[in-house]
C-alpha cells in the first residue's frame, strides 16, 4: 500500500471522506483518520492495516491491551481507538440488533466484501434474536481443515448464545457456493445440532451481492 504522502490529495483518507463520505473509505482508511499519524517506523496506513487484523479477530470486545503488542501503538493510540469503539457502541451497537431474517446481518459484515482474502465470520445471536457479537474466525481459503467447529463455537458457547450465522466473502465476486463451502456448512450444522445451538444460515457475499443457504433451501 502506498504511503499517505504518495497519494493524490483527493485520495488521502481525510480528503476522500470529506469529498465522498465515510462509506467510500476502507477500514484501513477510516482507522488512519482516527489515528491521525503513524509512528517513526510505520506510515499511518501501514499501522492501520496491522490494527485491522487485530480488530477483526476481537470484534466489538476489543480492549486497549489487545492493541499494545502492535509495534507503533502506544497508550495514546490504543486509548483513542478503544474510546472511539465504545462511543459508537453506546449509540449504534450491533449487539442488541434484532434479526428477523439471516440476511439482516449483512450491514454488519458487508465491509469485508472487498477484502482480497476470504474472511470466515461468525455472528452470535441470543434467545431474543439479537446480535451479540461478530467475529472473524479464519482468514484464507475456506476449507474444513481451517474452519473447525471448535474454532467457530468456542466464543459462541462462552457467550451462551442460542444461535449463530456463519458467513464468508468471495474475493472473486462469484457468489455460488463451492463443494467445499457446502461441506463446511454441513459440518458446522452437525456440530450445532449436537451443541443445541441453532445454525440460522451460511451467507456468502461480495461487494456486489450475497448468497444465502437458507434462501436457496440448502440448509
**Please, which residues have CB within 8 angstroms of residue 157's CB and are 6 or more apart in sequence?**
195, 197
Classify residue 97: in a domain, yes or no.
no
Q: Are residues 133 and 34 in the same domain?
A: no
Classify residue 168: in a domain, yes or no.
yes
* Segments forming the whole domain that contains residue 131: 102-212
Query: pLDDT at position 181, please?
Result: 92
Q: Are residues 112 and 75 in the same domain?
A: no
Q: How far apart are CA 83 and CA 79, in angstroms?
A: 6
Query: pLDDT at position 111, please?
Result: 83
**Please, which residues have CB within 8 angstroms of residue 151's CB and are 6 or more apart in sequence?**
137, 138
Query: pLDDT at position 35, please?
Result: 87
Q: How far apart are CA 188 and CA 113, in angstroms?
A: 22
Least Cα distance to 2 among 36, 40, 32 occurs for 32
Q: Are residues 25 and 48 in the same domain?
A: yes
Could you say which residues of the chain have pLDDT below 50? Answer: 145
Query: pLDDT at position 124, please?
Result: 93
Pairing of strands 163-169, 198-205: parallel
Q: How far apart are CA 201 and CA 123, in angstroms?
A: 10
Which pTM value belongs to this model?
A: 0.67
Query: pLDDT at position 23, please?
Result: 82
CB 22 within 8 A of CB 16: no
Query: pLDDT at position 160, please?
Result: 93
Q: 199: which strand partners?
A: 164
Give the total number of structural domains in the chain.
2
Amino acid at each position: 500500500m502506498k504511503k499517505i504522502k504518495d497519494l493524490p490529495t483527493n485520495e488521502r483518507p481525510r480528503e476522500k471522506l470529506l469529498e465522498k463520505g465515510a462509506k467510500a473509505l476502507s477500514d484501513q482508511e477510516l482507522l488512519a483518520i482516527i489515528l491521525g499519524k503513524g509512528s517513526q517506523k510505520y506510515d499511518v496506513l501501514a499501522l492501520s492495516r496491522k490494527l485491522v487484523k487485530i480488530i477483526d479477530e476481537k470484534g466489538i470486545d476489543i480492549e486497549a491491551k489487545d492493541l499494545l503488542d502492535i509495534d507503533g501503538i502506544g497508550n495514546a493510540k490504543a486509548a483513542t481507538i478503544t474510546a472511539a469503539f465504545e462511543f459508537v457502541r453506546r449509540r449504534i451497537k450491533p449487539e442488541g440488533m434484532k434479526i428477523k431474517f439471516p440476511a439482516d446481518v449483512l450491514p454488519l459484515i458487508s465491509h469485508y466484501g472487498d477484502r482480497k482474502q476470504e474472511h470466515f465470520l461468525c455472528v452470535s445471536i441470543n434467545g431474543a434474536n439479537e446480535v451479540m457479537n461478530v467475529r472473524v474466525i479464519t482468514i484464507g481459503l475456506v476449507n474444513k481443515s481451517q474452519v473447525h467447529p471448535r474454532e467457530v463455537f468456542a466464543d459462541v458457547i462462552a457467550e451462551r448464545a442460542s444461535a449463530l450465522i456463519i458467513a464468508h466473502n468471495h474475493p472473486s465476486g462469484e457468489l455460488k457456493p463451492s463443494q467445499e463451502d457446502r461441506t463446511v456448512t454441513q459440518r458446522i450444522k452437525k456440530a450445532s445440532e449436537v451443541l443445541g445451538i441453532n445454525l440460522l444460515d451460511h451467507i456468502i457475499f461480495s461487494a456486489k451481492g450475497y448468497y444465502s443457504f437458507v434462501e436457496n433451501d440448502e440448509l
